[in-house]
Structure 1
Amino acid sequence: MTTTTSHTPPESEGHPEGAVDEGGRNARLIHHDTTDIPAHLLYRDGPDPVNPAAPLPPAVVPARQGTGEQPRAEGAESVRRRPLPQPDPKLVERPAPVLPGAFGMLAGMAGIAAGLATSWWAGVLPPGVVHALRLPVSPRAGLGAAQWAAYAGAWILGLIGFGGLGRGRDGRAWVLGLFGGYRGTVRRTGLFWVNPLLQRRPADVRLRHWRSEAVPAADPEGLPLRVVVLVVWRVRDTARALLGVGDHEAYLRACVEGALARVPVEPAAEGGVSAAGDALTRLVAEDAAPAGLEVFSVQPVRAEYAPEVAAAMRRGRIARLDARQRAGMLSAVVDAVEDTVTRLSARGLVELDDYERKALVRDLTVAFCSGRGEPA
């Protein structure tokens, strides 16, 4: 079957979309006896001249001979994890407005002093206190509107001064909020003063480790496992950890369980635990980052098969060990028999025909196996 390509005649160069050949057919098609094939489909790397905005068709990679590999589309995307939702960009840790604790102490002491002065002014201060403080004679103005207003001011001043005091410690932080909004984080140590109307939530920012319970997992063959992991982590962004998720510790546990569901763990393979730990650390760190958590290490410390398959795996392991031991014993017996027969023949101690050689080999094999505690 012959395929011919028609070239665009000179008179149709000014009309690329309506170009026709001598037979009246479209010049942008390769004409075949059965169908017309668009010529631009032969050049995958170039855009469609008719519709340049159209996406390129995926190239099909043929199967390699003798491998059983199926043809695949080179441009087809593999199944990927959906990106995690990013937290509110406004919900990022920032320093809170804070004053030294001496400011609050002075304000509180001023409130107490104002209250005592108002009581002396109203004449309700006990005489013993007046004498102890060496105050002049009270005017005894009584409890009028002015005195009650002075009492209210002194009470408010003392409440603002003492109510805003806080104490910071190393490894601890305070997350401040007002009317449901985030106002900042206090990481300083010692006595400090903040607005007493702010809600204060403590946050532990120390380096912490968590040893999990037995978490369901699977080995590379898909057999169920029970894995105990050790996680080293800390709170990096207090705003996201306390306000971005309901419970950041429960969120971390869920991230570990999700990573174990995706990463196979080899409980007995040499080097398997290390490789699994690296993959688990990477996945958990990526999942926990939007919640303001910094994960340093996720290492399996114990991996056991589930009870329903543990007995079968134990029997299989024992069978493999027994087969390996028998194979090693058989190799040692064969080498010993061969060496014995060769040395006897080389030194001329015995002259054996085929029948006698076979009998000697059988007897030596039985003797050596019996000496190793194995039945012949």
Structure 2
Amino acid sequence: MSTTTSHTPAQAPEPEDRPGDHAEGTAGSAAAATTARPARLIQNEVTTRIPLHLLFRDEPGPVPVPPGPAVVGRRRGTGEQLRIARPAPARGRPLPEADPELEERAARVLPGAAGVLAGVGGLAGCLAASWWAGVLPPFATQALRLPEYAGPGLGPAQWAALAGTGALGLFGFGGLARGRTGRAWVLGLFGGYRGTVRRTGLLWVNPLLLRRPVDVRLRHWRSGVLPAADADGVALRVAVLVVWRVRDTARALLGIEGHEGYLRECVEAALARVPVGLPGGGADAAGDALTRLVAAETAPAGLEVFSVQPVRVEYAPEVAAAVHRRRIAALDARRRASMVTSVVDSVEDTVTRLTMRGLVGLDDCERKVLVRDLTVAFCSGRGEPAWDSPERDS
């Protein structure tokens, strides 16, 4: 058993009302339902069905409300219906985040003078150990002005001295490197990243580390002919010019396999998603869109893209002939329309002058003949066939 009652959103209990007040309000609504129904004062008034067992609740507990969409809000006393919060539309998958362990950091290197001193010291130690063992050649002894000494020979102590000083010399001279502007080295040891060297001049780098050179200068790359499409889906052949550089050497060399190939693949993918127009027909907007898209996709790989601009746009061979004929037809149609407008204006001006000055008196038939003759004459003077000529009428 159920009864009906009328209410407006403004009369509904607010969320902060107590459960007892809610029950009393419900009972009052049930009692008012037995009286005559008043006239509607609000046009958008709605009538809902309330189950009878909800009108005579013994315990003043909260009324369970079935779960539903969240209410955004409403204005009190205005009769405004509740606005339901709609979920935001799902977006595309975000780009993968770069590995934090592959973030570029400076490697530990020493000035080149330290390597030179270590190498010279190791060489001097080798000569001294050889003289001590008595195996230094006579010309070297004379050149170095060392006294004649017949050593005990190469014993364990002499071998240890030669090995130590020789290793020092090899490490000193073997670690010397020359850093150049626009070049960097990515250092690694047993597959691990040990830092990047961007310094210039004579440096000493641990010779046990693997050095991988990287070009960090600003570079231009002109692509070959790549497939693309315009806003209407017509196939195009596009060549783009990309201005880029390596920003993070660790991610560019260790995070991906071949950063130049990755850049080329990102450009090809962007051309497949961004419509490209012919020069003068939206090519600048397409270049801006390509730049933003490629820069966002190559940023996790340590590349910085400044510009991606189409430098050559042409139709694909399979549609070039059809598009060329269509463009010629459109140009011919515009030229003919311009010519017809000019002829009509000239004929109208001529007929108006003749009649306004009283040079000729024309009835409707004579006017038509005069207009036709003038049209034929003007079209013939412009080198166009006269479609209203007497030959065609005959």
Residue 96 of structure 1 aligns to a residue whose secondary structure is: coil
CA RMSD of aligned residues (A): 3.0
* Aligned pair partner of 2:229 in 218, 229, 247: 218
Query: 1:321-359 CA distances to partner (integer Å, 9 max, x unpaired)?
Result: 110010001001111111111112222222111111111
Q: Are the equivalent residues in 2 in contact too, given 1:87–1:290 (CA < 8 A)?
A: yes
* Aligned pair partner of 1:232 in 229, 235, 243: 243
Aligned-partner residue type, residue 6 of structure 2: T
* CA 1:184–1:7: 2 relative to 1, 3 Å: closer
Query: Are 2:302 and 1:288 equivalent residues in the alignment?
Result: no
**Alignment correspondent of 2:198:** 187
* Alignment partners' CA distance in 1, 2:162 and 2:304: 51
Q: Are the equivalent residues in 1 in contact too, given 2:266–2:294 (CA < 8 A)?
A: yes
Query: 1:5-25 CA distances to partner (integer Å, 9 max, x unpaired)?
Result: 5988xxx954699999559x9
**Alignment correspondent of 1:252:** 263
For structure 1, list consecutive stretches of 5 or more residues without a partner in the other structure. 37-47, 60-72
* Aligned pair partner of 1:169 in 163, 177, 180: 180
1:80 CA drift (Å) = 2.9
* CA 1:213–1:4: 2 relative to 1, 3 Å: same
**Alignment correspondent of 2:36:** none
Residue 104 of structure 1 aligns to a residue whose secondary structure is: helix
Aligned-partner residue type, residue 292 of structure 1: G
Q: Are the equivalent residues in 1 in contact too, given 2:250–2:302 (CA < 8 A)?
A: yes
* Alignment partners' CA distance in 1, 2:100 and 2:144: 57
Aligned-partner residue type, residue 302 of structure 2: G
* CA 1:80–1:146: 2 relative to 1, 3 Å: same
Total equivalences in the alignment: 342
* Alignment partners' CA distance in 1, 2:136 and 2:152: 12
* CA 1:215–1:158: 2 relative to 1, 3 Å: same
* Aligned pair partner of 1:325 in 335, 344, 356: 335
Q: Are the equivalent residues in 2 in contact too, given 1:13–1:19 (CA < 8 A)?
A: no
* Aligned pair partner of 1:4 in 3, 6, 10: 6
* Aligned pair partner of 2:289 in 273, 279, 284: 279
**Alignment correspondent of 1:44:** none
Q: Are the equivalent residues in 2 in contact too, given 1:169–1:188 (CA < 8 A)?
A: yes
Q: Are the equivalent residues in 2 in contact too, given 1:281–1:299 (CA < 8 A)?
A: yes
Normalising by structure 1, we get a TM-score of: 0.83
**Alignment correspondent of 2:362:** 352
Q: Are the equivalent residues in 2 in contact too, given 1:58–1:76 (CA < 8 A)?
A: no
Query: Are 2:273 and 1:262 equivalent residues in the alignment?
Result: yes
Query: Are 2:385 and 1:375 equivalent residues in the alignment?
Result: yes
* Alignment partners' CA distance in 1, 2:209 and 2:367: 99
Q: Are the equivalent residues in 2 in contact too, given 1:226–1:306 (CA < 8 A)?
A: yes
1:106 CA drift (Å) = 1.0
**Alignment correspondent of 1:66:** none
**Alignment correspondent of 2:392:** none
* CA 1:352–1:7: 2 relative to 1, 3 Å: closer
**Alignment correspondent of 1:56:** 70
* Aligned pair partner of 1:243 in 239, 242, 254: 254
Residue 191 of structure 1 aligns to a residue whose secondary structure is: strand
Residue 260 of structure 2 aligns to a residue whose secondary structure is: helix
* CA 1:360–1:201: 2 relative to 1, 3 Å: same
**Alignment correspondent of 2:78:** none
* Alignment partners' CA distance in 2, 1:58 and 1:82: 27
**Alignment correspondent of 1:68:** none
Query: 1:61-88 CA distances to partner (integer Å, 9 max, x unpaired)?
Result: xxxxxxxxxxxx9835445331111111
* Alignment partners' CA distance in 2, 1:78 and 1:339: 62
* Alignment partners' CA distance in 2, 1:19 and 1:91: 67
* CA 1:241–1:271: 2 relative to 1, 3 Å: same
Q: Are the equivalent residues in 1 in contact too, given 2:71–2:85 (CA < 8 A)?
A: no
Larger Rg: 2
* Alignment partners' CA distance in 2, 1:140 and 1:133: 17
* CA 1:229–1:114: 2 relative to 1, 3 Å: same
* Alignment partners' CA distance in 1, 2:72 and 2:265: 38
**Alignment correspondent of 2:113:** 102
Residue 339 of structure 2 aligns to a residue whose secondary structure is: helix
Q: Are the equivalent residues in 2 in contact too, given 1:171–1:205 (CA < 8 A)?
A: yes
**Alignment correspondent of 1:302:** 312
